[in-house]
Structure 1
Amino acid sequence: MERQRPVGWWVRRLDELLERGLDDVVAAEGLTRRHWQVLDSLAARPAPRADLVAALASFAAPEQVDAVLADLAARGWLAGDGTTSLTAGGRAAHERVAEAVGRFRRRVADGLTAEEYAQVVHGLARMVANLEQAPAQPRR
């Protein structure tokens, strides 16, 4: 029966499981997935608020990003005026969470070779590109 389900069903189910699983992982640190996304973005490089809002636009409204930034700042994990960066405490928190997130990601891809994983990602990216490039179909 599972083979009869369309790709949309699998994508939605996977998204639900990824959200729940990652939420569980970061909750151990008292965080949400949005906290993790901001921490991980800032671990890569300091960024102004506008860049973080743009990077998370598909996941969170600007006021949600602001709430996450305020919470992380209250924890002493952020520094900066205009451009936000991680403090030493923020870097330590990122490292702790990154280790747990890495374990979760490995669990997600368990049983897939690197090539199979790359093919799955490539196929999903192609489907997204197809739909983004397609002209809007009129509703009936």
Structure 2
Amino acid sequence: MSEQPIGYWVKLVDSLITERFQDALEEHGVTRRQWMLLNHLRNGTASGGELTEALSPFFGDPVPDGEPRTPSEHLAELVESGWVLEEGHTFTLTERGALSLERLTEIVEGIRTSASENVAPADFETTVATLRTMAGNLGYREGQAAPAQ
């Protein structure tokens, strides 16, 4: 196998993680973006605007055909499913949603564990630190939203 530049490996790993998350979550009737919304609501009630702002980097990414492209469309599906309660312009995780999120979190953690299997913890930390430094070298500042693709 020929040597590939770092961008090749970063994009490949990102696409493989995205694909694995998408497949696993879809088996449970949830999109990755819905999982992100549920996960954000784990911290408490949030307005639609707060959810949009918090997750805006992820809604700029390309999405599979037919998947809603805005947080409001994903939220409407979560409200309809009984996982999220809408009161006025605020959203809260229901008990049913919290239980579902707990199970989904186990699945996501399993994928993360699988992705880093056979990677020494020190190597993993070095990789993350290196990527963080490279992002800074390219203009990223801590707390800044990741650019949409």
| TM norm structure 1 | 0.85
Q: Which structure 2 residue ranges, 5 or more long, are not aligned?
A: 61-67, 141-149
- Aligned twin of 1:32: 31
Counterpart mapping for 1:48-127 below 5 A = 48-61=47-60, 64-81=70-87, 82-127=89-134
* Count of residue correspondences: 133
Q: Compare the two structures and name the one with the higher helix fraction.
A: 1
SS in 2 for 1:31: coil
Question: Could you say what secondary structure the match of 2:91 adopts?
Answer: strand
Q: 1:46 to 1:118 in 2, by over 3 A?
A: farther
Residues 48, 91 of structure 2: 8 Å contact kept: yes
Specify the code of the residue in structure 1 equivalent to 2:127.
Answer: V
The runs of 5 or more residues in structure 1 that have no matched partner are 134-140
SS at match of 2:118: coil
Contact 2:59 2:70 in 1 (8 A): yes
Aligned-pair RMSD on alpha carbons?
2.0
2: distance between equivalents of 1:97 and 1:131? 34
Return the alpha-carbon distance in structure 1 between the equivalents of residues 58 and 37 of structure 2: 11
**Moved runs in structure 1, 4+ residues, more than 2 A?**
80-83
TM-score, reference length from structure 2: 0.81
The amino acid that maps onto 1:9 is Y
Contact conserved, 2:41 with 2:93, CA < 8 A, in 1?
A: yes
Larger RCO: 1 or 2 (CA < 8 Å, sep 6+) = 2
